[in-house]
Chain A
Amino acid sequence: MSKEDKTFNIMFAGVGGQGLMLLSAILGKAAVDSGFKVMTGEQHGLSQRQGSIYVHFRIGNPISPLIPYGKADMMIAMEASEALRYVEYLKEGGVVIMSNRIMPAVTETEQVALDKEKKTKYLTVEQIVEKLEQVTSNVVLLDSLDLAIQAGNVRTENSVLVGATVACSDFPIHAEEVRKAVLALVPPKTLDANSKAFDLGLEASTGCLQS
Chain B
Amino acid sequence: MTVEDVKRTDKGPALMLTNEAVVRGALEADVKVVAFYPGSPTSEILDTFGEVLDHFKDYKMHIAANEKVALETVAGASMAGMRSFTSMKSVGMNVASDSMFSIGYTGLNAGCVCLIADDPYAHSSQSEQDGRYFGEAAYVPMLEPATAQEALDMTKWAFEVSEKYKTLVIIRTTTRVNHQRGMVDLGELKRSPFKKNRWSDVKGQYFTVGAVARALKAKLLEKTVAIKKDFEASDFNKVVPGSGNVGILTAGVCYLHVKESMQNLDINLPVFKLGTLFPLPEKKLSEFLKSLSTLIVVEELTPYLETRIEALAKTVNPELYIVGKRSGHFSEMLEYNIPIVEKVLAEVVDKKPSMDYDSVLKKAENLKEILPERPPIFCPGCPHRGTLWAFRQALQQLKIRDNIVFNNDIGCYSMAFLPPNEFSDSMLAMGASLGISAGMELALEDKIIAMVGDSTLYHAALPGIVNLIHHNSNVTLFVLDNAVTAMTGQQFNPNSPYDAGGQPARKINMEKMFEALGADKIVIMDPYETRDCIGPIKEAIESDGFSVIISRRECALYGDREKKKRGEKIIPSENVKDTCRSIFACVKEFYCPAITVDESDAKMIIQRDLCDGCLECRQVCPVDAPRHLEVKR
Spell out A's residues near B (CB within 8 Å): 15, 17, 24-25, 28-29, 32, 37-52, 62-66, 68-71, 81-82, 84-85, 87-88, 103-114, 118, 121-123, 127-128, 131-132, 134-135, 154, 185
Contacts and interface: CB of A to CB of B under 8 A. Distances in A.
Contacts of B179: 41-44
Contacts of B264: 68
A41 to B, nearest CB: 6
A117 to B, nearest CB: 11
Interface of B: 1-2, 13-15, 17, 40-41, 43-44, 123-124, 176, 179-183, 253, 256-257, 259-260, 263-264, 337-339, 342, 355, 357, 360-361, 363-365, 367-368, 370-380, 412, 415, 419, 486-490, 557, 582, 584, 587-588, 591-593, 595-597, 599, 602, 604, 607, 609-610
With most chain B CB atoms within 10 A of its CB, the pick from A37, A107, A109, A123 is A109
A111 B355 CA distance: 38
A107 B412 contact: no
Contacts of B2: 25
11 contacts: A29-B15, A44-B40, A45-B123, A46-B376, A49-B557, A104-B372, A105-B372, A105-B593, A107-B419, A114-B587, A135-B367
A69 B361 contact: yes
Nearest to A24: B181
Contacts of A71: 355
Contacts of B591: 106-107, 110
Given A39-B180, A47-B557, A108-B372, 16 more contacts: A17-B610, A39-B183, A42-B181, A44-B41, A48-B378, A50-B377, A62-B260, A81-B371, A88-B361, A88-B364, A105-B593, A109-B596, A113-B597, A122-B599, A131-B367, A131-B368
Given A44-B40, A45-B40, A103-B593, A70 B357 contact: yes
Q: Is the interface of B mostly helix, strand, loop or mixed?
A: mixed
A66 B123 CA distance: 15
Contacts of B490: 47
Contacts of B183: 32, 37-39
Which 9 pairs from chain A and chain B are nearest by CB?
A88-B364, A63-B260, A70-B360, A40-B181, A50-B593, A65-B180, A68-B338, A108-B372, A49-B379
Contact of A104 (B44, B182, B379, B596): B596
A63 B259 contact: yes
A150 to B, nearest CB: 16
A45 B39 CA distance: 9
Contact of B357 (A48, A69, A111): A69
A69 B339 contact: yes
Contacts of B380: 49-50
Contacts of B259: 63-64
A109 B373 CA distance: 11
Nearest to A79: B374
Interface centre among A46, A71, A82, A121 (most CB of B within 10 A): A46
